[in-house]
A and B are shown apart, each in its own frame.
Chain A
Amino acid sequence: MENNVVLTARGISMTFPGVKALENVDFTLRKGEIHALMGENGAGKSTLIKCLTGINDFETGEIHIDGVDGPVKNHSTRDAQNVGISTVYQEVNLCPNLSVAENLFIGREPLTAIRTVDRNSYNKRSQKIMDDLGISVDVTQNLENYSLAIQQMVAIARAVDMDCKVLILDEPTSSLDDEEVEKLFKLMRMLKDKGVGIIFVTHFLEQVYAVCDRITVLRNGTLVGEYPIADLPRVKLVAAMMGKDLDDLASIKGESKDLSHEPLEISARGLAHLGTVKPFDLDIHKGEVIGIGGLLGSGRSELARSIYGADRANVGTLKVKDKEVQIHQPIDAMNLGMGMLPDDRKAEGIIEDLTVRENIILALQAKTGTFKRLSSQKQNEIADRYIELLSIKTPSPETLVKQLSGGNQQKVILARWLATNPDFLILDEPTRGIDIGTKTEIQKLILELAEQGKSIVFISSEIMEMVRTCNRMVIMRDGEKVGEVGGDITEQKVMHAIAGGGEEK
């Protein structure tokens, strides 16, 4: 093994039923380095980490660890810990009702001569560990008395004390504030100086540039590349994560219509669902298609959800057609002429044990009212019409929707909303996981709907789709609306806006 290298993974592949989660991925971690593992959701970051920590059983490939002869194959987190790999997750996996010291030594308590737990000794040892790491806590206090950041650090301290050579931090900063993040970074740098190799997974680009030495980028289960931090400025990182080479990007967008003279459909002022999306202002005109750009987890879905009431907005005002409204839950939004196709088809879209017909008429029926049941004839008419219009491939309207393919399920949900004839439609990732032909159909449909005077919010991970269809794009970063790209939209502009600040120009 190369000098200084603490962990190498070579040619790791792993399949989940129907999906190639990892394909021939290499990863190298050196001593005393903080290595960012980047990629969008579904790129395979978590799968790779789970292969390293023994949660996933990878199919091919080898993992080597410094100090262990031959390839290592972990079958449990305990195996992983034994060879020196520890993981700290976003949610702290410790016991809040035990003291800090107990948490540090749980499962490996020092014993006295008569085999009872030696409290004195482990309190002392705990205090020393925490002092050495520069974390000021009273180790006899219960863990729950400390902030989430401290709890996370205790988890890290526990990992470090168990002689870990490789420390994996999976989204550790998601629920920390800036000050706490800084504390965590200090600890990470200290561990780095001690020679621990740290794998850092995060959605926050700033943080990568703040602490990391090296970046490995994954996309769709394959390795894009490994770069020293200096060689990969933000824009290139975003490009690598999304699979676009900036040089290839050319404007293909035709003339864009100016619709700002059209009446306002939606007007939000300071609207926010605190915790997921910061206060934002947004105007959407009649017949406009608005794209929301940003990395996954940037708050682009959350922005749309707060308008629709899927996550009830807790501050700010919202006007629909120039009238101020209160939306407590989705049905309120529906009655104002809205509809939303959510991004998680399985969790929030389909009702899998109901038939295609029932899935299609559900929203219209909810809007019509419980006691005004649509006649069977009407239901069949509507189902048949949309099955034909969207060419949904189903043996019959009475087939259970779960028996359809993903793309057709998506069309069923689209049909559900079209059936309600909305004025304002939010489409969150309508093209995810469906074939290219259907994707084009859906984009065409969006333009048609806009032509009919409907306003549309279109969210997609594929920027080109939005560039082609949108009049204007809203850019999100870290839960905040950071700007808009209007007029002549190009992919380049959008990606620069998404990457934001830093070393632009």
Chain B
Amino acid sequence: MSSKDSSFMKKIKSWPLLLPVVALFLVMAVNILHDAAIGANPLSFFTITLNQTTSSGTILYGRIIDILNRGSEVAILALGMTLVVSSSAGTDISVGSVMSLSASFCCMLLAGYGVANTSELAVPLIVGVLAAFAMGTLCGAFNGTLVAYFGIQPMVATLILFSAARAIGLLLCNNLIVYVRNSAFGAFGAFTGILPTPIIIAAICIAVVALVLKNTSLGMYIQSVGINPKASRIAGLNSKKIIFLTYVICGFFAGVAGLVNSSRITSADSNNIGLYYEMDAILAVALGGNSLGGGKFNLAGSIIGAYTIQAITTTLYALGVSTDQAPVYKAIIVVIIVAIQSAPLKAFFRKRSLKETKEAAKA
């Protein structure tokens, strides 16, 4: 092997996104093999076509588009979750419930209190949208206060809204599933031009966070506080405020995800919106190669993780696994991906490759 090759390999091996990307490729490979096996075009997974539909006009269609579309909420949640994990070495398990509460609050305002089914908006759309964001932010502030200023364990602090937020949402909706059958409201979950709107919203969220992290020192602060809050304080950082802020951001994105999710079904179904999304968001962070012990984070990894989860789900459906059984296979795949990234296995592979190079040197 030439030295140039080995330095290239070294670079690849130390690339933090290596494993998340490999995991995503593996999921794609399964699709290709399956398609080939059933005699379909092996590349049909990647095929994107323009389809004519009666409801939305000309739209992009394909499995990749579907994954990007369906994965939007988890990708949006993963942004906030990554920051929370980094700063506080804990997870916000309330994001799914907060999604639901934000959606309920939004729909309640749009439909008017007590109205279960309407196509007329009671208030301007923008009020509802901002209300969803505000509700998410408020919940985030609540979680952040408990964690940062009262020193409560993140899991326990966010458990409160995890169980309460859906109930509060039902209360706001007078125990009804509120339907807002309005095309303006439904647009957030439908199509803009030929692209699904959720993809655009997710892209905007990702871009905003990436820009903020690039142009402010917030990213360094969050990591610094996550690695060593005491030392960060001595160096002039307000550790509590920074932890608080990450929860607020996480709550805000839960509000955004809640709006998207409820717009897809043009209703606020308190019991089902965002159900188990907190787990997917946490999983996305872990799949992205981030340590749940806090500190260093890799936002791109979390985003790849989020779409990997959706890719697994979509693949399973493509393979004909029934909806009921999908979680079983999903669990198996996730265990494998997480295990590959675990420290003992990494150490094992490193040892083996060392041994191999030694043996190669001997021979």
Given contacts A353-B295, A370-B218, contact A329 B233 (CB under 8 A): yes
Give the docked Cα–Cα distance between A348 and B224 (Å). 12
Chain A residues within an 8 Å CB radius of B218: 370
Residue from the list B216, B223, B236 in contact with A373, Cβ < 8 A: B216
- Interface 9-residue window, one of A111-119, A358-366, A456-464: A358-366
Q: Are B224 and A330 closer than 8 Å at their CB atoms?
A: no
A interface residue count range (under 10 / 10 to 19 / 20 to 34 / 35 or more): 20 to 34
Q: Determine if B233 and A358 form an interchain contact, defined as CB atoms under 8 angstroms apart.
A: no
- With contacts A354-B227, A371-B216, A373-B217 taken as known, whether A362 is within 8 angstroms of B235 at the C-beta atoms is yes
A347 CB-CB contact with B under 8 Å: yes
Determine if A370 and B217 form an interchain contact, defined as CB atoms under 8 angstroms apart.
Answer: yes
**Pair B234/A370 contact, Cβ less than 8 Å:** no
The residues in A between 224 and 265 inclusive whose CB is less than 8 angstroms from any CB of B are: none
A350-B228, A352-B227, A370-B217 as given contacts; A310 in contact with B234, CB under 8 Å: yes
> Bound state CA distance, A347 and B227, in angstroms?
10
Residue from A334, A351, A373 within 8 A of B232 (CB atoms): A351
- Complex-state Cα separation, A351 to B237, whole angstroms: 12
Closest B residue to A349 using CB positions? B231
Roughly how many angstroms separate A342 CA and B235 CA in the complex, as a whole number? 10
- Interface SS, B side: helix
Query: CB-CB < 8 A to A367: which residues of B?
Result: 236
Query: What residues of chain B lie closer than 8 Å to A353, measured between beta carbons?
Result: 223, 227, 295-296
A211 in the interface (beta carbon within 8 A): no
Given A351-B228, A353-B227, A353-B295, also A365-B234 (CB < 8 A):
no
A417 (CB) vs chain B CBs: closest residue: B235
Within 8 Å of chain A (Cβ to Cβ): is B207? no
Which among B215, B218, B235, B295 has the highest number of chain A CB atoms within 10 Å?
B235
Chain A residues with Cβ under 8 A from B237's Cβ?
331, 362, 366
The answer to whether B235 and A330 touch across the interface, beta carbons within 8 angstroms, is yes
Q: Which residue of A lies closest to B242 (CB)?
A: A370
A411 in contact (CB, < 8 A): no
* Chain A positions within 8 Å of B296 at CB level: 353
Contact of A348 among B217, B223, B227, B234 (CB under 8 A): B234
Q: From known contacts A329-B238, A331-B238, A353-B296, infer whether A370 and B221 are also in contact, taking CB-CB under 8 Å.
A: yes
Contacts of B228 in A (CB 8 A): 347-348, 350-352
For window 234-249 of B, CB contacts with A under 8 Å fall at 234-238
Interface assignment of B230: CB less than 8 Å from any CB of chain A? yes
**Is A472 in contact with chain B by the CB < 8 A criterion?**
no
Least CB separation from B294: chain A residue: A353
CA distance A331 to B241 in the complex (A): 13
8 A Cβ contacts from B167-197 to A = none
Complex-state Cα separation, A356 to B247, whole angstroms: 28
B230 engages A330 (CB within 8 Å): no
Cα distance A362–B231 in the bound complex, in angstroms: 11
Q: Is B33 an interface residue (CB 8 A)?
A: no
**Is residue B204 contacting chain A, with contact meaning CB distance below 8 A?**
no
Residues in chain B near residue A342, CB distance under 8 A: 231, 234
Q: CB within 8 A of A354: which of B220, B233, B238?
A: B220
A416 within 8 A of partner (CB): yes
* Cα A349 to Cα B228 with chains together (Å): 9
Q: Is the beta-carbon distance between A348 and B216 smaller than 8 angstroms?
A: no
A340 within 8 A of B: yes
Across the two chains, which residue of chain A brings its CB closest to B291?
A353
* CB within 8 Å for A350 and B236 given contacts A362-B224, A370-B218, A373-B216: no
Whether B227 contacts A351 by the Cβ 8 Å rule is: yes
A residues adjacent to B (C-beta < 8 A): 310, 329-331, 334, 340, 342, 347-354, 358, 362-363, 365-367, 370-371, 373-374, 416
Name 26 A/B residue pairs within 8 A (Cβ), A-sorted: A329-B238, A330-B233, A331-B236, A347-B228, A347-B230, A347-B231, A348-B228, A348-B230, A350-B228, A350-B231, A351-B223, A351-B227, A351-B231, A352-B227, A354-B224, A358-B220, A362-B235, A362-B237, A363-B236, A366-B221, A366-B235, A366-B236, A366-B237, A370-B217, A370-B221, A373-B217
Q: Which 4 A-B pairs have the closest CB atoms?
A: A366-B236, A331-B236, A334-B236, A363-B235
Given contact pairs A331-B237, A366-B237, a sample of 20 additional A-B residue pairs in the complex whose CB atoms are under 8 Å apart: A330-B233, A340-B234, A342-B234, A347-B230, A348-B230, A348-B234, A349-B231, A351-B223, A351-B227, A351-B232, A351-B235, A354-B220, A354-B223, A354-B227, A358-B224, A362-B220, A362-B224, A362-B232, A366-B221, A366-B235
B contact residues vs A (CB 8 Å cutoff): 215-218, 220-221, 223-224, 227-228, 230-238, 295-296
